[in-house]
């Protein structure tokens, strides 16, 4: 039997981590809601499983998404993850074919060279040895980048790198030691026996010229085993837990599980899947415009894992969703932040127990009933029967040019509509939701829903992306909800309105809640191209900027908001457009307060381009898209 005491630390670590991962998975599974459990079971026997395997290969090993955003950073992650995977895979095969027996204990594959020092002299064995050396070299190159990144983050093209806690530092050191100690251990052994390929062989032969290779090898084998063991034991309480957790995340996501609005297994799995890559930090305008570097999603994930107080972090965020779009792990960062904002309503008190290896959830008693929001003073009026409701929204009432333009366009279309909040309406509810007050928001939502339902309309048009998002996502309405840019697009397509072409250069700023938040990217740009010359900017679609005026952040001072707005305007107007167009009253107001450049909503541009025609009421029979809406 091949055995040596130095393998003990490795064995302890390995079996510990295996048992730990199994236990934790069982706990996670147990905590899932019933429907999610079913989803997972169905996913296991369905196509989700295959998809997950492919994704695990592409993302957890190759790190395709990071490679796409940042080649050097991607290479670093890939060489460590994929390289280590190959090393284990080919190491196991090596031990299986060339070892004394088939089906060996894992340590025999890991420490193969120690137990088979004479191996690797003949042709095929040497070729295999070459392959193993190549993989090791691949990993070491990535490791070199990682070490450099720690000290000079610019090397991998990153402006910021995440800060570490003590256990992370110890784990990091042991991780860094694993591959160099393997290199030295194998080299000394090869040097002593005259084996090894281009890397271990050459280094070994050279070291053997001035060092007693046989004696030197043994301590390095110990070091190799110790660093592996330490790394495995610390893994669950460090950020490296993301390595095993991400596999669960991918599988759960492919099975159709979503974050929802309460903390649970899925949000926890996502929190642990964050690799602290720091991509979200670079994406965040609070970082690059305002110099605030402690609230980004990477830090939120870390604070949740460490059970720190996250109130400040959770609220100091524009909820712009730029980080969601860029996170290579695909963590649903904004929903998780919203869960933290609703913190007061948590059902469970989560504690880290056993030095952070497990978390326990204890039910908390609800706090004393907070004063119930009372909206009885709102007068319910009878809305007239209509086809289309125009809901301008509170913000649009502060930018009357937008609502006037919409009225002009609606009048010109000849459609039957009702400007439901013309003389003041009730808030759509989203500002309350963003501050975590869902129950109060529900009252407003019910109020507005009743009004809309009573009007008998089939379509609701709103000018404000904030309203648009909440009407689409949180109202249960039997009407088609359209942002005015989508509506104008339909009017143009149906030939209900005719527009002039304005000879102006227009650059488009995609508002957060309309673009990233609701996925409406094309229609606004199509409307602009129909009316004027649409210019490109470097911040299009998913990569668009936040105007800085976000309602979601109540922590920033006005001067910081202004700075963010000014940087955004400057970035968007590099090519001196005539108009910076947006599709959100809040963006318009925010931008207008920092620049002399003309800021206009798409509705205003459309109203300017509109060819007036005599008013006549169409019967909705010969319309195409609008008619289709009526039969939804």
Give the residues lining the site for ligand SF4 (CB under 6 A). 274-280, 283-284, 286, 296-298, 301, 317-323, 327, 329, 331, 333
If residue 213 lies in a helix (H) or strand (E), which one and from where to where? Answer: helix 213-234
The Cα-based distances of 468 to 5, 41, 471, 603, 629 in angstroms read 66, 36, 5, 15, 17
**Stretch of 72-80, 141-149, 362-370, 588-596 lying at the interface with other proteins (CB under 8 A):** 588-596
276 binds other proteins (CB under 8 A): no
Partner whose footprint covers residue 423, from ligand SF4, other proteins, none (CB < 5 to 8 Å by kind): other proteins
Q: How far is the CB of 232 from ligand SF4 (least distance, A)?
A: 22
For residue 33, what are the contacts with CB-CB under 8 A and spacing of at least 6? Answer: 264
The DSSP code for 609 is: H
Partner whose footprint covers residue 320, from other proteins, ligand SF4, none (CB < 5 to 8 Å by kind): ligand SF4
Of the pair 238, 405, the CB lying nearest other proteins is at 405
Partner whose footprint covers residue 317, from other proteins, ligand SF4, none (CB < 5 to 8 Å by kind): ligand SF4
Asked whether the beta carbons of 157 and 72 are under 8 A apart, the reply is yes
Taking alpha carbons only, the member of 331, 332, 333 closest to residue 314 is 333
Q: How far is the CB of 552 from other proteins (least distance, A)?
A: 17
Written as six digits, the tokens of 446 are 């019910």
Chosen residue from 423, 503, 616, 622 binding other proteins by CB under 8 A: 423
**457 Rama class: left (phi>0) / alpha (psi -120 to 50) / beta:** beta
Three-state SS for 258-283 is: CCCCCCCHHHHHHHHHCCCCCHHHHH
C-alpha span between 84 and 140 (Å, rounded): 10
Q: How far is the CB of 556 from ligand SF4 (least distance, A)?
A: 10
Q: How far is the CB of 558 from other proteins (least distance, A)?
A: 5
When computed from its CA atoms, the radius of gyration of the chain, rounded to whole angstroms, is: 30
Of the pair 331, 599, the CB lying nearest ligand SF4 is at 331
Task: Tell me how far apart the terminal alpha carbons of the chain are, to the nearest angstrom.
Answer: 74
Asked whether the beta carbons of 263 and 343 are under 8 A apart, the reply is no
SS3 358: strand
Chosen residue from 592, 597, 618, 630 binding other proteins by CB under 8 A: 592
The helix, strand and coil proportions of the chain, stated in percent and rounded to the nearest 5, come to 60, 5, 35
Asked whether the beta carbons of 586 and 466 are under 8 A apart, the reply is yes
630 binds other proteins (CB under 8 A): no
Chosen residue from 424, 476, 536, 622 binding other proteins by CB under 8 A: 424
Q: How far is the CB of 322 from ligand SF4 (least distance, A)?
A: 4
CB atoms within 10 A of CB 262: 13
Partner whose footprint covers residue 60, from other proteins, ligand SF4, none (CB < 5 to 8 Å by kind): none
Of the pair 530, 589, the CB lying nearest other proteins is at 589
Asked whether the beta carbons of 264 and 33 are under 8 A apart, the reply is yes
Asked whether the beta carbons of 546 and 587 are under 8 A apart, the reply is no
C-alpha span between 587 and 604 (Å, rounded): 14
Asked whether the beta carbons of 535 and 575 are under 8 A apart, the reply is yes
411 binds other proteins (CB under 8 A): no
Of the pair 154, 404, the CB lying nearest other proteins is at 404
Of the pair 489, 561, the CB lying nearest other proteins is at 561
Backbone angles phi, psi at 162, to 5 degrees: -70, 150
Chosen residue from 77, 242, 525, 588 binding other proteins by CB under 8 A: 588
Q: How far is the CB of 132 from ligand SF4 (least distance, A)?
A: 31
SS3 567: helix
The interface with other proteins within residues 158-187 (CB under 8 A) comprises: none
Written as six digits, the tokens of 321 are 């969703």
Partner whose footprint covers residue 401, from other proteins, ligand SF4, none (CB < 5 to 8 Å by kind): other proteins
Of the pair 4, 578, the CB lying nearest other proteins is at 578
The interface with other proteins within residues 511-570 (CB under 8 A) comprises: 558, 562
Q: How far is the CB of 59 from ligand SF4 (least distance, A)?
A: 11
69 binds other proteins (CB under 8 A): no
Written as six digits, the tokens of 604 are 């205003």
Partner whose footprint covers residue 623, from ligand SF4, other proteins, none (CB < 5 to 8 Å by kind): none
Which is it for strands 533-535 and 505-508: parallel, antiparallel or unpaired? parallel
Q: How far is the CB of 330 from ligand SF4 (least distance, A)?
A: 8
Of the pair 238, 399, the CB lying nearest ligand SF4 is at 238
Partner whose footprint covers residue 400, from ligand SF4, other proteins, none (CB < 5 to 8 Å by kind): other proteins
Asked whether the beta carbons of 502 and 608 are under 8 A apart, the reply is yes
C-alpha span between 365 and 374 (Å, rounded): 24
Of the pair 114, 591, the CB lying nearest ligand SF4 is at 591
Partner whose footprint covers residue 275, from other proteins, ligand SF4, none (CB < 5 to 8 Å by kind): ligand SF4
**Stretch of 107-115, 141-149, 419-427, 527-535 lying at the interface with other proteins (CB under 8 A):** 419-427
399 binds other proteins (CB under 8 A): yes
SS3 390: strand
418 binds other proteins (CB under 8 A): no
Q: Which residues are at the interface with other proteins (CB under 8 A)?
A: 397-401, 404, 422-424, 558, 562, 588-589, 592-593
């Amino acid at each position: 039997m091949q055995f040596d005491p130095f393998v003990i630390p490795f064995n302890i670590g390995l079996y510990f981590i295996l048992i730990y991962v199994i236990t934790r998975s069982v706990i996670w599974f147990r905590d899932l809601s019933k429907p999610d459990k079913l989803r997972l079971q169905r996913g296991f026997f369905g196509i989700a499983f295959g998809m997950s395997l492919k994704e695990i290969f592409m993302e957890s090993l190759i790190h395709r998404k990071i490679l796409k955003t940042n080649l050097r950073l991607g290479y670093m992650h890939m060489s460590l993850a994929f390289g280590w995977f190959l090393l284990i895979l080919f190491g196991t095969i090596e031990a299986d074919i060339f070892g004394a027996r088939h089906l060996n204990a894992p340590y025999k594959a890991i420490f193969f060279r120690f137990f088979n020092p004479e191996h690797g002299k003949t042709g095929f064995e040497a070729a295999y040895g070459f392959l193993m050396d190549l993989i090791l070299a691949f990993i070491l190159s990535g490791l070199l980048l990682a070490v450099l990144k720690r000290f000079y983050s610019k090397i991998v093209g990153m402006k910021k790198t995440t800060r570490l806690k003590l256990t992370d530092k110890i784990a990091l050191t042991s991780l860094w030691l694993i591959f160099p100690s393997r290199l030295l251990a194998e080299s000394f052994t090869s040097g002593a026996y005259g084996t090894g390929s281009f890397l271990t062989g050459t280094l070994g032969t050279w070291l053997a010229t001035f060092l007693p290779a046989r004696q030197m090898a043994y301590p390095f084998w110990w070091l190799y085993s110790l660093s592996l063991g330490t790394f495995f034991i610390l893994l669950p309480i460090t950020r490296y837990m993301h390595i095993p957790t991400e596999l669960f995340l991918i599988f759960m996501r492919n099975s159709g599980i979503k974050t929802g609005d309460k903390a649970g297994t899925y949000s926890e799995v996502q929190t642990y899947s964050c690799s602290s890559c720091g991509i979200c930090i670079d994406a965040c305008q609070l970082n690059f415009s305002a110099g605030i570097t402690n609230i980004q999603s990477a830090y939120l994930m870390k604070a949740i894992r460490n059970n720190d107080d996250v109130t400040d972090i959770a609220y100091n965020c524009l909820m712009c969703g730029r980080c969601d779009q860029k996170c290579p792990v695909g963590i649903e960062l904004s929903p998780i932040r919203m869960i933290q904002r609703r913190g007061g309503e948590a059902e469970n008190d989560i504690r880290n127990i056993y030095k952070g290896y497990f978390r326990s959830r204890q039910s908390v008693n609800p706090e004393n009933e907070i004063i119930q929001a009372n909206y009885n003073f709102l007068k319910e009026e009878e809305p007239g029967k209509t086809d289309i409701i125009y809901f301008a929204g509170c913000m649009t009432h502060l930018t009357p040019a937008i609502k006037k333009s919409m009225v002009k366009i609606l009048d010109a279309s000849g459609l039957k509509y009702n400007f439901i909040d013309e003389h003041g309406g009730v808030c759509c509810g989203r500002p309350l939701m963003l501050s975590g007050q869902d129950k109060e928001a529900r009252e407003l939502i019910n109020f507005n829903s009743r009004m809309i339902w009573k009007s008998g309309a089939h379509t609701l048009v709103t000018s404000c992306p904030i309203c648009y998002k909440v009407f689409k996502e949180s109202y249960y309405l039997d009407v088609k909800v359209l942002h005015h840019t989508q509506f104008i697009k339909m009017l143009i397509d149906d030939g209900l309105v005719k527009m002039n072409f304005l000879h102006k250069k227009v650059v488009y700023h995609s508002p957060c809640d309309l673009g990233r938040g609701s996925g409406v990217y094309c229609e606004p740009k199509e409307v602009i191209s129909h009316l004027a010359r649409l210019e490109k900017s470097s911040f299009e679609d998913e990569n668009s900027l936040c105007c800085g005026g976000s309602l979601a952040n109540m922590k920033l001072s006005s001067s910081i908001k202004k700075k963010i707005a000014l940087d955004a305007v400057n970035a968007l107007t590099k090519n001196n457009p005539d108009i910076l167009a947006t599709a959100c009253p809040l963006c318009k107001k925010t931008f207008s307060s920092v620049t002399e450049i003309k800021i206009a909503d798409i509705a205003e541009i459309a109203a300017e381009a509109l060819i007036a025609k005599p008013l006549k009421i169409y019967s909705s029979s010969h319309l195409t898209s609008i008619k289709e809406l009526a039969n939804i």
